[in-house]
Amino acid sequence: MEPVEILSHTGGGVISVAWLMIALPLIGAAILLIGGRATNKWGHFLAVLMSVAAFVVAALAFFQLIGLDPAQRRQSVHLWDFIPGVADIGLLIDPLSIAFCLLITFVGSLIHIYSIGYMSHDPDRRRFFAYLNLFVAAMLLLVLADNYVALFIGWEGVGLASYLLIGFWQYKPSAAVAAKKAFVVNRVGDFGLLVAMFIIFAQFGSLQFAEVFPAAGEASQGVSTAIGLLLLLGACGKSAQLPLQSWLLDAMEGPTPVSALIHAATMVTAGVYLVVRSGSAFFPEGSTAGLVVTIVGVATLLAGAIIGTAKDDIKKGLAGSTMSQIGYMMLAAGIGPAGYAFAIAHLISHGFFKADLFLGAGSVMHAMNDEVDMRRYGGLRKVLPITFVTFFIGYLAIIGFPLLSGYFTKDGIIESVMHHNAILGWLAVVGAGITGFYMTRMVVMTFFGPKRWDEKAHPHESPAVMTWPLIILSVFSIGLGAYLILSNRLMVFLAPAVGRPEELPHFAPFAVTGLATLALVAVGAGLAIVKYGRAEVPVVQPRGSFLTVFARRDLYGDALNEALFMRPGQWLTRFAVFFDNRGIDGVVNGLAAGVGGSSGRLRKIQTGYVRSYALSIFVGAAVLAGAWFVVGTL
Amino acid sequence: MLELPWLSFLIGLSVVGAIVVAFLKNDKVAKQTTLGVSLLILVLTVVMAVQFSPNGDRFQFAETYDWIPSFGVHYAVAVDGIALVLILLSAILVPIVVLASWHDAEQGKRSVRTYFALLLVLEAMMIGVFAATDVFLFYVFFEAMLIPMYFMIGSYGGAQRSYAAVKFLLYSLFGGLLMLVAVIALYNVADKNSFLFPDLIGAVTDPTTQKWLFLGFFIAFAIKAPLWPVHTWLPDAAAQAPAGAAVLLVGVLDKVGTYGMLRFCLELFPDAAKWATPVVIALSVIGIVYGAIVAIGQTDIKRLVAYTSISHFGFITMGVFAMTTTATSGATLYMVNHGFSTGVLFLVAGFLIYRRGSQFIADYGGVQKVAPLLAGAFLIAGLSGLSLPGLSTFVSEFMVLLGTYQRYAVPAIIGTTGVILAAIYILWMYQRTMNGPTAESVAEMKDLNGRERWVVAPLIALIVVLGFFPKPLLDVINPAVKESLVNVKVTDPAPVVAVKEGQ
């Protein structure tokens, strides 16, 4: 089944004012940034209010949308003329964008609330909330845009928010470097997105989804593949997929709520959004571009999981896990309409349980004086009971424990990929096993076993403003997967926007792949319990085998980048600067000196000589002019 | 309103203002008078711009008087959409520069009031050069502009000001005199006994002659712009000039080069322009990448900004010579946006340097902590330098690349790498100056004061508003660009798929 036609919205209802979703948090950010210290006292409440208000608008728009006939559920709302002849600013309200809006504003609001407690001691809390609001606005523009240019504004807008928030504690050099790295690596991806837009415009004379998507089939195979691969490059940058994954682990320098919202639940999934949104046009089932998407997805899901096994920093462990889980989504998005609903279902359920896990990690850090080394945790379940229970639910959800969220959504991905390509499917099963290992390791090292922290640490449970968001997120981590997957609820809902397979899949709880996945997860979890639960965990990181070091060093991704790009880049820069000073300038100075009839270096010239120089040049030009007249009259 | 001689009045007002300021006794009054005159010019320019009808005649507010009848030289001024937005740019930047330069002339070799008088003289020249529709008059303004700028750099600049001022003057004179030869030759060849631009369109038909004349004009404009490889005067001039003069130099004076290419090289010598296009596009692309790479390696803040501009001028010349409506309109818009963006970057850098007394990046660190507003302004200025979507510079850069790709795919793709390099040069500079632990030498640094906020705020507001709503400018620019391209006899490539449908 193909997606339905994008209609022009003719007015009425919340859809007409859907722009409020973007405007409200944007106004919030502007007030907090321009208002300055005057807004310190109440700024965070305003930010929360704006985020919640955006959620209300999203929810109302959702209800209006489901009240419409499925064929009417893709509406484009024109806002204003942007670049005449190229693109306008407009919003596309359809099931896909609204699903994202609900996720972004709901999880976003919970994280705003949580941050009131988490950032309560930070002197710059107001600025933090301003950036969070800015992020929400940009992210909503990204998913709501009805053309690629407006999407790109949101796309780089979230990149800016990410840059500002990773570097929020900018006085730490590591944070400043991580922020810059994230932006630059993302720009490499954006290069792909930009060139994709150039090709699309050259082909179709438009960048509006409503005009490009229906015409996409008329482009040649090669052009379609090129557009698909370039869009994928953009997606890889934003979603930290191989080969542009290196920034995400460093991005953990940002405050933990940022890691939860931007670097787990929402922004990093924008690449999946881009692929699914453009799917019917540039990644059709069986296309080369789609195949590359699945390969990138599988490679990243394995790489992220392997990195996750070796990290002692709880946030970096979760970051590796995020890479890996987005790899699953990419994998599903690459196979076409059969996978879109599962990719988005996993994206949504992951948004909840990963936010739950990250905020849980933040709660642990809050209790432990910002310690992130799990080797210095241990036995925290008794001191942090609420954090423990909510984290544990998130843990069960992510490893795919039966009946919890991840069980349904990840199993859906594995099952649909298995039909498409068995090798990719089995690799995804292996990934699930590794997930079982690294997540169990994390839970065991943090909450079980003997305590490995100093009495002076005084760990304490977080305040209610932080625990309530955890509780709500964990409740969703339990039931959301079942809700979205059973009776193909999400697939049917999304069908007008992304299409769906002719035959709806059946949920088969006792299929071979499902059982094999569960078995491998159990093995992974068991290994972790034996290694970290039964044996003693050394407080100081042991040297580790070759493989462990390989994983700890992020599979040498940074080393590779340094050898391939950074060092040659530095040499090139030095050479260029030298060449510019000596080469070009030297030649020109020499020429100038020659023209002036002086052999001295130009640097020595004082203003007194200007007249003589000017005169000699003027004479030269007069001679030239004279010569022209002579030649001209001949 | 009636048919008023708007342009002559604006030029005259600046000249009269300059004379008055030069003869004032009190420096403070001189500054205030300069600010008042420049603000009045801004208001009048805006009033004039509002009356410009985008879909009316191409050239409006036209005035023509004989000047040297025996040679067909006229005092002729008028504006089309392209010239209008550049005059607006100049009129907006001058009062801001006046306010920003409030204390900059105090260390100079000459008096404070001379500096401000020179600013007004320069404003007259800037309006004149964009308004001139007589090629000889254009040449006169083109050369005369050098004089106030030469003194502003040479008398009020940094330690190496003499070297920088001379280098600037020599390069410009060399280009200017080549152009003089070409202007005179054009007059002879065209044989219309007129220097008026409309008379000269289509007057040179011989291909070889066109090529020679094109080169005469083009080399002058390439030095002015400056285009790689004749760019090396700019980093010296911009780094040694006082911040305000640097803004007008890079923001407006250099645009005369790219404006001249669009107006004169393309329209007067269309066949030669097409003949030269591959070379110009190649030089532009080299400039984009080369300027960005050299910028990354700079240790001096102002030189760094100057090299980013060389990269940006590459985008502009690429857009002009791509000769598609999108690219060429984008290039024109780029000229305006770059003026605001580099303007605010130079000015904030100037505030920073004024406080610390050093242009070297290594002398800073952690300024964000002590002067958050200054750092914030620097960041926004920097982000506009890296063409962040949502800021005005993105619109023009995107249009240039998008439009260029339609005709020259490979150069556009190579040029797009400039987007990545821009992130490196801006954010690395920001990181080294503003982030990290606060350096001892900047620990006492004061944040932006009231005057400085008034300098920065309007530019940032313009950059943001034009980032989301560039239509008012594009509506004025587009018709003029379309008419120019009609004179060049090029049409936009049609979309591939639409062509298929048409068959």
Task: Report yes or no: B331 at the A interface, CB cutoff 8 Å.
Answer: no
Spell out which residues of chain A touch residue B154, defining contact as CB-CB under 8 Å. 607
- Residues of B (131-160) whose Cβ lies below 8 Å from A: 154
B9 belongs to a structural domain: no
Taking CB atoms and an 8 Å limit, are A198 and B290 in contact across chains?
A: no
Name the residue among B296, B368, B497 with its Cβ closest to that of A218: B497
For A:551-610, CB contacts with B below 8 A are 572-574, 576-577, 580, 584-585, 588, 592, 595, 602-603, 605-607, 609-610
The burial class, CB within 10 Å (0-12 / 13-18 / 19+), for A145 is buried
- CB pairs A-B closer than 8 Å: 198
A102 contacts: CB under 8 Å, gap ≥ 6? A55, A58, A59, A62
Q: Using an 8 Å CB-CB cutoff, list chain A residues near B369.
A: 171
Would you call A620 exposed, middle or buried from its count of C-beta atoms within 10 A (0-12, 13-18, 19+)? middle
Q: Is B478 within 8 Å of A86 when comparing Cβ atoms?
A: no
The reply to whether B170 touches chain A by the CB within 8 Å rule is yes
- Contacting residues of A for B189, CB less than 8 Å apart: 632
Does A89 lie at the interface with B, CB-CB under 8 angstroms? yes
Residues A595 and A576: their CA atoms lie apart, in Å, by 27
Contact residues, B window 423-452, toward A, CB-based 8 Å cutoff? 423-424, 427-428, 431, 434-438
- Which backbone phi and psi does B451 adopt, to 5 degrees? -60, -45
Q: Which residue range is the domain that position B377 belongs to?
A: 269-495
Q: Is residue B74 part of a domain?
A: no
Name the packing angle between helices A464-485 and A385-399 (round to 10°): 20
Flag if A149 and B398 touch (Cβ within 8 Å): yes
Closest Cβ opposite residue B435 in set A176, A194, A223:
A176
**CB within 8 Å: A183 and B427:** yes
Does the distance separating the beta carbons of A171 and B435 come in below 8 Å?
A: yes
What pTM does this model have?
0.91
B45 touches chain A (CB under 8 A): no
DSSP β-ladder status, A87-93 and A75-83 = antiparallel
Task: Based on DSSP, count helices (H) and strands (E) in chain B, helices before strands.
Answer: 23, 2
Is there a domain that residue B387 lies in? yes
Question: What CA–CA distances, in Å, run from B12 to B36, B121, B177?
Answer: 15, 10, 27
Please identify among residues 405-464 of chain A the ones whose CB lies closer than 8 Å to any CB of chain B.
none
Does some domain include residue B306? yes
The pLDDT of residue A292 is 94
Q: How far apart are CA A233 and CA A192, in angstroms?
A: 5
Cβ distance of B405 and A202 shorter than 8 Å: yes
DSSP class of B435: S
Asked if B419 and A190 come within 8 Å (Cβ–Cβ), the reply is: yes
Percent of residues in chain A assigned helix, strand, coil, to nearest 5: 75, 5, 20
Partners of residue A253 in chain B, C-beta under 8 Å: none
Kindly list the residues from chain B whose CB atom is less than 8 angstroms away from the CB atom of residue A203: 495-497
Q: State the nearest Cα–Cα gap between A456 and chain B, in angstroms.
A: 28
- How crowded is residue B429: how many other Cβ atoms within 10 Å of its Cβ? 24
Residue B66 lies inside a defined structural domain of this protein: no
Q: How far is B298 from chain A (nearest CA, A)?
A: 8
- Chain A residues touching residue B178 (CB < 8 angstroms): 621, 624
Question: Quick one: pLDDT at residue B122?
Answer: 94
pLDDT under 50 in chain A at which residues?
596-608, 630-634
Give chain A positions within 8 Å (CB) of B368. Answer: 170-171
Q: Which neighbouring-strand residues pair with A89?
A: A80
Chain A touched by B55 (CB under 8 Å): no
Q: Which residues of B touch A140 (CB under 8 A)?
A: none
Give the minimum alpha-carbon distance from A204 to chain B in angstroms, rounded to a whole number. 5
From the list A171, A183, A215, which residue is nearest B497 (CB)? A215
CA B109 – CA A201 distance, rounded (Å):
55
Q: Concatenate the DSSP letters of all residues of B153-202 into one string.
A: HHHHS-TTHHHHHHHHHHHHHHHHHHHHHHHHHHHHHH-SS--BHHHHTT
The tokens describing A482, both together, are 């079942």
Residue A592 has a pLDDT of 56
Distance from CA of B335 to the nearest CA of A (A): 16
Question: How far apart are the C-alpha atoms of A17 and A28, rounded to whole Å?
Answer: 17
Q: B105 touching A, CB under 8 A?
A: no
Bridge partners of residue B75, in order along the sequence = B65
> Would you give the distance in Å from CA A630 to the centre of its chain?
69
Taking an 8 Å cut-off on Cβ atoms, the answer to whether B493 and A202 are in contact is yes
Query: What domain count does chain B have?
Result: 1
**pLDDT value at position A602?**
43
- B295 CA: distance to closest CA in chain A (Å): 8
Choose the mutation target among A588, A615, A618 for the interface with B, i.e. most B CBs under 10 Å: A588
Q: Length of chain A in residues, anyone?
A: 634
**What's B495's DSSP letter?**
P
Mutation site for A-interface testing, chosen from B181, B212, B230, B503 by largest number of A Cβ within 10 Å: B181
Contact map slice: A 27-66 vs B, CB within 8 A: 33
Chain A: closest CA distance from residue B267 (Å): 23
What is the full per-residue pLDDT of chain B (503 aa) written as tens digits? 457 889 999 999 999 999 999 888 888 898 999 999 999 999 999 999 999 998 888 899 989 998 888 888 899 999 999 999 999 999 999 999 999 988 887 877 788 888 999 999 999 999 999 999 999 999 999 999 988 999 998 888 888 888 888 888 888 888 888 999 999 999 888 888 889 998 888 888 888 989 999 999 999 999 998 888 888 889 988 988 888 899 999 999 999 999 999 999 999 999 999 999 999 999 999 999 999 999 998 999 999 999 999 999 999 999 999 999 999 999 999 999 999 999 999 999 999 998 888 888 888 888 888 999 999 999 999 999 999 999 999 999 999 999 999 999 999 999 999 999 999 999 999 999 998 888 888 888 888 888 999 999 999 999 999 999 999 999 999 999 999 999 888 888 888 886 544 43
What is the C-alpha to C-alpha distance for residues A35 and A126, in angstroms, rounded to an integer?
10
Residue A539 has a pLDDT of 76
Q: Across the interface, do B390 and A605 touch by the CB < 8 Å criterion?
A: no
B437 lies in some domain: yes
Structure confidence by residue, pLDDT tens digits, A330-383: 999 999 898 999 999 999 999 999 999 999 999 999 888 888 888 888 888 888
| Chain A hits for B437, Cβ within 8 Å | 171, 173
Cβ–Cβ below 8 Å for B189 and A153: no
Give the CA count within 13 Å in the CB-facing half-sphere of B19: 5
Inter-CA distances, A146 with A94, A574, B452, Å: 10, 44, 40
Do the domain assignments include residue B316?
yes
Residue A199 CB: number of other CB atoms within 10 A? 20
